[in-house]
Amino acid sequence: MNVYVMAAPSVAIEPADMQPVAPLELTGTLTAVIAVCLLVALVLAILAIVLSKPRRKSDKGNTTRGAHRDVGSKTVWRERINSVVARHEAGELSRQEAFVQLAFIARDFATSASNTQLSASTLADLNRMDRTGSNREGLNALRQTIAALYPPEFANASLNSTAGQTSVQQAAEWVSTLVERWRA
């Protein structure tokens, strides 16, 4: 058996042929690439900061709040209150029905004004609600209004003197005061 080994040809390099390569002229190009990368990083950082902040909706020029409510026009709420009084005086609503309607209007207004569901809130619920600087006065006024409406709305007028003495007109004034005093 014959084995053949192949040897790689040897290359002879003459020392005179070994010349240094000229330096690459990439300094300007690399500087420009680094500057662009830093600029892109800066823009992305600014975008991340701006986009991570919660958006605040401006109420200027926009008086609508809630689903389909117009809290900014308190005239609408006054008209609803006056309609209950007029319907009661016309005999269309009983005294108790008028109190129920006025309590509903008070809660509906507060729901629209606060963007918080308050339509079924009891006095206990209103007492437990967290109060902030922006909602404290309105929630306190709502609680007082509902507390004033409870006796005539639910109590037996023959057994409870407060319930018997409150007129629908007086209750309407309480709800109107709530609407006027609420600060949006």
Q: What is the CA radius of gyration of the chain?
A: 39
Domain with 105, as residue range(s), is 69-181
Q: Read off the DSSP letter of residue 16.
A: G
The pLDDT value recorded for residue 158 is: 61
Task: Tell me, letter by letter, the H, E, C secondary structure of 103-157.
Answer: HHHHHHHHHHHHCCCCCCCCHHHHHHCCCCCCCHHHHHHHHHHHHHHHHHHHCCC
- Model-level pTM? 0.54
In a domain, 174, yes or no: yes
| Both structure tokens of 38 | 């830093």
In a domain, 19, yes or no: no
The pLDDT value recorded for residue 13 is: 75
Number of domains in the chain: 1
In a domain, 136, yes or no: yes
pLDDT in tens for each of the 184 residues of the chain?
Answer: 666 666 666 677 777 777 777 777 888 888 999 999 999 999 999 888 888 776 554 444 444 444 444 445 788 998 999 999 999 999 998 888 888 899 888 888 888 887 778 777 777 777 777 777 766 777 778 878 877 777 655 555 565 566 667 788 888 888 888 888 877 5
The pLDDT value recorded for residue 166 is: 76
pLDDT in tens, 23-75: 778 888 889 999 999 999 999 998 888 887 765 544 444 444 444 444 457 88
In a domain, 115, yes or no: yes
In a domain, 93, yes or no: yes
In a domain, 98, yes or no: yes
The pLDDT value recorded for residue 40 is: 95
